[in-house]
């Protein structure tokens, strides 16, 4: 039976990555690219993003320790970042944390390989997704089963993102901008609620809060 952690992870990464938006940007960036090269770029970009996110899922907690960042601080900071992304999604506005900015997209015109930048990062593995995987893995604690379900949810969204890029033209024709925005708004609301939960959990476990209620 699928664990609750899978659904939370899936909803979080679907909102932060936004596969449909990625597919539309991908289609515009590769409009003049041959079909085989488009497939190679999409696959390579997704694999690089997967490696980045898996690295953060495994070593994210150790990285926080090296930088001297407490888990409550990460929950609050990551929650705020995810909340900003959620607000952008609800109001159908582009976010630099989950997509390439106009300046970054313009820079890619002169680049031969788009798979690393901007597709792998920041379009797929952006600050929002990196923060999300660290938070979700931290919440799983030492429970390996929950951690695996969390990673499974993330990988599922990456697979959907790859499929959306490979079928970018069909997706655009089927849903259109209005359809993409409707789906983004729904997941934006879910992400907003989840981000607020991260913030509340971080405040509840912070030293300052404990001193106030002591």
Supply the DSSP symbol for 112.
S
Residue 58 to residues 33, 63, 134, 138: CA-CA distances in angstroms? 35, 10, 9, 10
What's residue 159's pLDDT? 98
Confidence label for 187 from pLDDT (cuts 50, 70 and 90): confident
The mean of the pLDDT values for the chain is 85
Q: Rounded to an integer, what distance in angstroms lies between the CA atom of residue 208 and that of residue 210?
A: 6
Percent of the chain's residues with pLDDT above 90: 37
pLDDT digits (tens, 9 = 90+) for 64-113: 888 888 888 888 888 898 888 888 888 877 655 555 555 555 555 555 57
Q: Is the pTM of this model over 0.75?
A: yes
Compute, in degrees rounded to 10, the torsion defined by CA atoms 152, 18, 96, 134: -20
- The lowest-confidence range among 89-93, 123-127, 148-152 is 89-93
Q: Where are the domains of the chain?
A: 4-213
- Measure the CA–CA gap between 54 and 78, rounded to whole angstroms: 18
pLDDT at 117 > cutoff 70: yes
| Cis amide bond preceding 118, omega within 30 | yes
Taking residues 120-137, report their average pLDDT: 91
pLDDT at 214 over 70: no
């Amino acid at each position: 039976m699928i664990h609750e952690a899978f659904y939370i992870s899936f909803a979080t990464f679907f909102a932060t990555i936004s596969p449909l938006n990625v597919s539309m940007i991908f289609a515009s960036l590769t409009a003049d690219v041959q079909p085989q090269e488009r497939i190679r770029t999409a696959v390579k970009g997704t694999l690089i993003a997967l490696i980045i996110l898996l690295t953060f899922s495994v070593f994210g907690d150790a990285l926080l320790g090296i930088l001297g960042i407490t888990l409550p601080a990460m929950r609050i900071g990551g929650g705020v970042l995810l909340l900003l992304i959620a607000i952008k999604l609800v109001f159908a506005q582009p976010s630099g944390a989950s997509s390439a900015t106009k300046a970054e997209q313009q820079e890619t015109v002169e680049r031969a390989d788009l798979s690393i930048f901007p597709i792998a990062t920041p379009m797929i593995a952006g600050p929002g997704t990196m923060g999300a995987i660290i938070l979700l893995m931290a919440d799983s604690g030492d429970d390996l089963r929950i951690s695996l379900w969390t990673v499974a949810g993330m990988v599922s969204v990456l697979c959907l993102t790859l499929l959306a890029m490979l079928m970018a033209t069909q997706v655009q024709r089927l849903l259109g901008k209005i359809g993409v925005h409707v789906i983004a708004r729904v997941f934006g609301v879910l992400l907003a609620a989840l981000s607020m939960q991260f913030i509340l959990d971080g405040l509840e476990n912070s030293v300052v809060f404990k001193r106030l209620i002591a």
